[in-house]
């Protein structure tokens, strides 16, 4: 609920009704996705807030197994693993959202631009460009850019932005190719609107819904890349709590203290599964396969 | 690509327009652009790369020598000209760390990565084919539902987590695989490769068998399948020729598409399982700021994917006449 609008005010009640209607439109898959993601989000905010322990603080002997005092045990330095896992959730999800949001805007804009041009040469060059950029194995391209820009959070985000926009551009171009001759675009042209206005106000909003659908599956990929590079020690680095970095640390104690990898890995996978369920559910709804 | 060159007779012209040739020309164009990207990569470095590598106390001569080593002396067009002509002659530059030619480093490390890729793909086919067929035939039973759920969970599990879980299961609990390491030489190396390959397949098999499943379901409603049934075609011939073979095309195309993903994940897998392949070389190079080595590996991996995609296209055309390269 938006702050400032009371639940029993007319606007608040309208919101509730609308929320319930949206919920009813979902199928089982997407509902599970929403529930999983909501639980993780709530835990990632509340656990670090409510716990007396700090994600960076040393609280007990290192490598304690899970117990009543420390639900997930303690890590190799004696920090509370529970707090660290959910502090990591916050960081990972925030980084992944940041990682998705820039390419979606840039890619959609460039793709729409490319889709509405009628220049043959530009089209051929465009095809080659996007094919070439997407030919690089994703993680290797990200690694290459990180090598140049710097192996930290900033370098990681820049690498994701540079390497991920092409997919959105590809989707946007395909969609806007179909739209450029649509009647409402012709109408806008007859009305004498500028090219830029038609592009941004009339074509891009229609392209955007498709890009958003792809963004959900891209989110999974980006959260894996963030975790993967941090796992390799080339993204988020210790002591910052991050799932991939925690897996890399815990990996050394695999034989004797497996919970060090089980908890961060489980919640990383669960997040990805939640998004995947939501994406699949929404896809099936839009295809009209369910309910 | 289809401009009419004067003086060439009609048959040669037709050959020029041949779809395979056109795809090849396209692949070369993409390869050229890969080269441009790899060239531009080193320009992402904020500041002077030579200064970054040498530090503030470097002498003027050292900086000039390093710029030459990195190929960043002279004007940009002349740099690019030199870069391209060197690449064409097989000169990918020299590793800053070991002063060894990039290509010879790659040559030494490539076999491990190739063995990993081949083992992975053989395992993929061995697992995805029966799973996809079974999931299509029994899609309305409990097996079909279990398949869907299992596939969703596996696809969303990052390889660096599933890899650790598999080590925990197969190397720590039961002694079926080494925790890490590698020994060259077939077939002894398979002992070190099967678990890494299985890890990559935790992502690959669910995706591909799902594609195969939906493709078989789609094929089975085609008219030529009905016609074959009416003609009384039975047994293996029916399954292979009328059901499986026409359904394979999208799967093979996807395998080509996922070649990039396999090569990608192999990097992380090589680190987890301590396999001395190209991925480990790349990660070391990134850590050491060995710019020419990074540049070379990024370019070559892109080239590899372009080649694999091209091959997948060719196999596709052979498998399914409907999907012939246009």
Position B164 scores a pLDDT of 94
Position B4 scores a pLDDT of 46
Ranges A128-132, A277-281, B6-10, B292-296: which has the least confidence: B6-10
Please list the alpha-helical segments (H only) found in chain A. 10-25, 28-50, 81-116, 120-135, 138-149, 153-179, 183-190, 195-197, 204-231, 243-250, 259-287
User: Is residue A70 scored above 50 in pLDDT?
Assistant: yes
Residues A110, A263: Cα–Cα separation, whole Å:
40
Query: For chain B, what is the mean pLDDT?
Result: 84
Please choose, from the candidates A235, A144, A273, A161, the residue with its C-alpha nearest in 3D space to the C-alpha of residue B264: A144
Question: b/e map of A172-192 (b: 16 or more CB within 10 Å)?
Answer: bbebbeebbeeeebeebeeee
The confidence band for A3, taking pLDDT boundaries of 50, 70 and 90, is low
User: Is residue B283 scored above 80 in pLDDT?
Assistant: yes
Q: Which residue has the higher pLDDT, A245 or B71?
A: A245
Position B326 scores a pLDDT of 42
The confidence band for A291, taking pLDDT boundaries of 50, 70 and 90, is very low
Q: Mutate which of A28, A127, A136 to test chain B, going by most B C-beta atoms within 10 A?
A: A136
Question: Do A195 and A130 contact (CB within 8 A), yes or no?
Answer: no
Q: What is the mean pLDDT of residues B277-287?
A: 93
User: Is residue B1 scored above 60 in pLDDT?
Assistant: no
Position B96 scores a pLDDT of 87
Q: Do B164 and A227 touch (CB under 8 A)?
A: no
Position A17 scores a pLDDT of 78
Contacts of A277 in chain B (CB under 8 A): 152
- Cα A70 to Cα A44, A189, A252: the distances in Å are 16, 65, 21
User: Is residue B268 scored above 80 in pLDDT?
Assistant: yes
Ranked by mean pLDDT, the top range of A92-96, B241-245, B256-260, B298-302 is: A92-96
Position B325 scores a pLDDT of 46
Position A86 scores a pLDDT of 95
Q: What is the DSSP letter of A80?
A: B
Contacts of A273 in chain B (CB under 8 A): 152-153, 156-157
pLDDT digits (tens, 9 = 90+) for B199-229: 999 999 999 999 999 888 888 888 888 888 8
**DSSP letters of B79-119?**
HHHHHHHHHHTT---B-TTT--BHHHHHHHHHHHHHHHHHH
Q: Is B177 exposed, middle or buried (0-12, 13-18, 19+ CB in 10 A)?
A: buried
pLDDT digits (tens, 9 = 90+) for A227-278: 999 999 999 988 999 999 999 999 999 888 999 999 999 999 999 999 988 9
Do the interacting molecules here have an ipTM over 0.90? no
The confidence band for B107, taking pLDDT boundaries of 50, 70 and 90, is very high
Residues A181, A206: Cα–Cα separation, whole Å:
13
Position B321 scores a pLDDT of 63
Q: Nearest-CA residue of chain A relative to B31?
A: A132
Position B7 scores a pLDDT of 54
Q: Do A145 and B44 touch (CB under 8 A)?
A: yes
- Cα B275 to Cα B62, B113, B231, B267, B271: the distances in Å are 35, 8, 53, 10, 7
Residue among A129, A151, A254 whose CB faces B164 most closely: A254
Residues A228, A235: Cα–Cα separation, whole Å:
8
Closest approach of chain B CAs to the CA of A186, in angstroms? 32
Position A264 scores a pLDDT of 95
Position A5 scores a pLDDT of 63
Q: Do B268 and A129 touch (CB under 8 A)?
A: no
Cα A156 versus chain centre, distance: 14
Contacts of B44 in chain A (CB under 8 A): 145, 148-149
- Predicted TM-score (pTM) of the model is 0.85
Please choose, from the candidates B37, B29, B105, the residue with its C-alpha nearest in 3D space to the C-alpha of residue B298: B37
Residues A131, B289: Cα–Cα separation, whole Å:
28
Q: What percent of chain A has pLDDT over 90?
A: 42
Which 3 state secondary structure label does DSSP give B302? helix
Which 3 state secondary structure label does DSSP give B289? coil
Which 3 state secondary structure label does DSSP give A192? coil
Question: Do B39 and B80 contact (CB within 8 A), yes or no?
Answer: yes
pLDDT digits (tens, 9 = 90+) for A115-135: 887 777 877 788 778 888 888
Ranges A33-47, B182-196, B251-265: which has the least confidence: B251-265
Q: What is the DSSP letter of B188?
A: T
Q: Do B168 and A258 touch (CB under 8 A)?
A: yes
- Cα A262 to Cα A31, A202, B40, B97, B166: the distances in Å are 26, 48, 40, 37, 12
Q: What is the mean pLDDT of residues A190-199?
A: 85
Q: Which residue has the higher pLDDT, A273 or B255?
A: A273
Cα A52 versus chain centre, distance: 30
Q: Do B286 and A244 touch (CB under 8 A)?
A: no
Cis bond leading into A239, ω under 30°?
Answer: yes
Q: What are phi and psi of B214, to 5 degrees?
A: -70, -30
**DSSP letters of A217-272?**
HHHHHHHHHHHHHHHTTSSS-TTS--HHHHHHHHGGGTTT-THHHHHHHHHHHHHH
């Amino acid at each position: 609920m938006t702050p400032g609008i009371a639940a029993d005010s007319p606007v608040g009640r309208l919101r509730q009704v609308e929320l319930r209607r949206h919920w009813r439109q979902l199928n089982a898959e997407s509902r599970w996705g929403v529930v999983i993601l909501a639980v993780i989000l709530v835990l990632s905010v509340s656990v670090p807030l409510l716990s007396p322990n700090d994600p960076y603080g040393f609280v007990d002997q290192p490598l304690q197994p899970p117990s009543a005092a420390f639900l997930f045990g303690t890590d190799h330095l004696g920090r509370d693993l529970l707090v660290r896992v959910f502090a990591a959730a916050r960081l990972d999800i925030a980084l992944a959202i940041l990682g998705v949001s820039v390419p979606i805007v840039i890619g959609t804009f460039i793709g729409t631009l490319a889709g509405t041009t009628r220049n043959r040469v530009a089209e051929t060059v465009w095809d080659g460009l996007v094919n070439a950029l997407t030919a690089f194995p994703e993680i290797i391209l990200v690694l290459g850019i990180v090598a140049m820009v710097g192996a930290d959070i900033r370098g990681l985000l820049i690498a994701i932005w540079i390497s991920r926009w092409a997919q959105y551009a590809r989707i946007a171009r395909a969609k806007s190719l179909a739209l450029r001759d649509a009647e409402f675009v012709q109408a806008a042209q007859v009305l004498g609107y500028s090219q830029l206005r038609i592009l941004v106000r009339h074509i891009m909003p229609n392209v955007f819904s498709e890009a958003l659908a792809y963004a959900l599956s891209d989110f999974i990929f980006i959260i894996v890349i963030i975790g993967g590079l941090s796992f390799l020690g080339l993204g988020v680095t210790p002591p910052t709590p991050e799932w991939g970095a925690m897996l890399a640390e815990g990996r050394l104690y695999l034989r004797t203290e497996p919970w060090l990898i089980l908890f961060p890995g489980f919640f990383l996978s669960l997040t990805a599964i939640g998004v995947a369920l939501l994406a699949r559910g929404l896809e099936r709804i839009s295809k009209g396969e369910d309910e | 690509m289809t401009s009419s060159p004067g003086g060439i007779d009609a048959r040669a012209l037709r050959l020029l327009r041949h779809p395979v040739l056109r795809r090849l020309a396209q692949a070369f164009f993409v390869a050229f652009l890969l080269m441009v990207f790899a060239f531009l990569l080193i320009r992402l470095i904020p500041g002077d790369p030579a200064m970054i590598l040498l530090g503030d106390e470097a002498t003027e001569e050292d900086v000039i020598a390093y710029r030459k080593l990195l190929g960043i002396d002279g004007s940009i067009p002349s740099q690019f000209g030199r870069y391209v002509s060197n690449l064409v002659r097989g000169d990918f530059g020299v590793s800053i760390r070991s002063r060894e030619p990039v290509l010879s480093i790659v040559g030494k490390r490539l076999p491990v990565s190739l063995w990993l890729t081949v083992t992975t793909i053989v395992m993929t086919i061995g697992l995805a084919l029966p799973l996809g067929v079974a999931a299509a035939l029994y899609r309305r039973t409990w097996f079909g539902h279990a398949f869907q759920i299992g596939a969703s969970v596996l696809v969303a599990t990052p390889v660096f987590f599933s890899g650790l879980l598999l080590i925990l299961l197969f190397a720590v609990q039961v002694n079926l695989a080494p925790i890490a390491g590698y020994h060259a030489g077939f077939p002894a190396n398979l002992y070190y490769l099967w678990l890494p390959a299985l890890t990559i397949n935790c992502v690959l098999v669910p995706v591909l068998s799902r594609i195969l499943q939906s493709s078989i379901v789609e094929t089975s409603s085609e008219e030529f399948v009905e016609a074959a049934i009416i003609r009384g075609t039975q047994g293996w011939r029916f399954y292979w020729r009328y059901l499986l073979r026409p359904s394979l095309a999208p799967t093979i195309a996807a395998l080509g598409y996922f070649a990039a993903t396999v090569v990608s994940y192999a990097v992380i897998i090589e680190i987890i399982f301590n396999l001395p392949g190209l991925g480990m070389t790349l990660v070391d190079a990134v850590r050491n700021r060995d710019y020419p080595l990074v540049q070379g590996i990024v370019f070559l991996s892109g080239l590899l994917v372009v080649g694999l995609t091209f091959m997948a296209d060719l196999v596709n055309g052979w498998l399914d006449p409907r999907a012939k390269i246009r």
